[in-house]
Structure 1
Amino acid sequence: MSVLRALRQVAASSSRACCSSCGSLWPLAPCDRTACSTGCCKSFLSIYVSFFGGFDTHSFWVAIADVVLSQKLAEELKYEKEAVADVPGEPEFLKTFKDQGIWEIQDVAGNDEVTLVRKFGNETIRMMFSIADIQNAEEEPEYEQEEGEGGEEQPPHSYPIRASFSITKGNAKGSINIDTMCQEGAFIIDNMSYYPDAQLGTELTAEADWKRRGLYIGPQFDTLDVSVQEEIEKWLQERGINENLATFVPEYSEFKEQKEYVRWLDNVKNFVDA
Structure 2
Amino acid sequence: MMSLRAIARAAPRVLARPSTFRPAVVRTAAATAARPSFSITQKASAAFSTSALRRAPAGEVDEELAAKLSSELEFETSVKEGETLPASIKDFLENGQFELKDVPGQQDVFLTRNFGNEKITVSFSIADLSSFQEQNFEDDALADEEFEEMNDSRGNGKSGAADLAEEAEEEDMEGGADTDAMPCRLNIVVEKPGKGALNVEAIAQDGTVVVENVYYYKDAKLAHSSSPDAVHAAQDAYPGPAFGSLDEDLQILLERYLEERGITPALALFVPDYMDMKEQKEYLAWLENVRGFVEA
- TM-score for both structures, normalised by structure 1: 0.74
Is 1:82 matched up with 2:99?
Answer: no
Look up the match of 1:175: 197
The 8 Å contact of residues 189 and 198 in structure 2, kept in 1 or not, is answered as yes
Q: 1:118 to 1:143 in 2, by over 3 A?
A: farther
Distance 1:205 1:144 in 2: 51
Matched with 1:114 is: 109
Asked if the contact 1:167–1:176 (Cα under 8 Å) also holds between the matched residues in 2, the reply is: yes
Q: Retained in 1: the 8 A contact 2:123–2:188?
A: yes
- Relative to its length, the structure with more helix (as a share) is 2
- CA 1:270 to 1:166, structure 2 compared with 1: closer, same or farther past 3 Å? same
Q: Which region of structure 1 is more displaced relative to structure 2, 133-142 or 216-225?
A: 133-142
1:134 to 2:156 alignment: no
Greater shift, 212-221 or 255-264, is seen at 212-221
Scaled by the length of structure 2, the TM-score of the pair is 0.69
Aligned residues: CA RMSD: 3.1
Contact 1:158–1:250 (8 Å) recurs in 2: no
How many residues align? The count is 230
Match of 2:217 in 1: 195
Indicate the residue corresponding to 1:209 in structure 2. Answer: 231
Q: 1:211 to 1:118 in 2, by over 3 A?
A: same
The alpha-carbon deviation at position 167 of structure 1 amounts to 0.1
Q: Tell whether the 8 Å contact from 2:88 to 2:269 is kept in structure 1 after alignment.
A: no
SS in structure 1 of the partner of residue 61 of structure 2:
helix
Higher relative contact order (CA 8 A, sep 6+): 2
Q: Deviations over 1:14-45 (max 9, x none)?
A: 965xxxxxxxxxx52342624x9xxxxx6xx9
Q: Find the counterpart in structure 2 of residue 123 from structure 1.
A: 118
Distance of aligned partners of 1:108 and 1:143 in 2 relative to their CA distance in 1, 3 Å threshold: farther
DSSP 3-state at the match of 2:187 = strand
Q: Which amino acid aligns with 1:160?
A: P
2: CA distance, partners of 1:97 / 1:261: 24
Distance 2:207 2:86 in 1: 19
Partner of 1:39: none
Structure 2 CA distance for aligned equivalents of residues 238 and 176 of structure 1? 15
Distance 1:209 1:103, change over 3 A: same
Rounded Cα–Cα distance in structure 2 between residues aligned with 1:144 and 1:69: 44
Partner of 1:147: 173
Structure 2: runs of 5 or more not aligned? 1-18, 37-52, 141-167
> What pairs with 1:232-247 in structure 2 (closer than 5 Å)?
232-247=254-269
Quick one: which of 178, 184, 187 aligns to 1:164? Answer: 187
For 2:247 and 2:191, how far apart are their aligned partners in 1? Answer: 25
Letter in 2 for 1:82: S
Worse-superposed segment, 126-135 or 92-101 = 92-101
- After superposition, the C-alpha distances for 1:93-121 in whole angstroms (9 at most, x for unaligned) are 43321111411110000000001111122
Equivalent residues of 2:86, 2:273 under 8 A apart: no
Matched, 1:96 2:91: yes
The answer on whether the counterparts of 1:175 and 1:197 sit within 8 Å (CA) in structure 2 is yes
- On the 8 A contact 1:157/1:184 being kept in 2, the answer is no
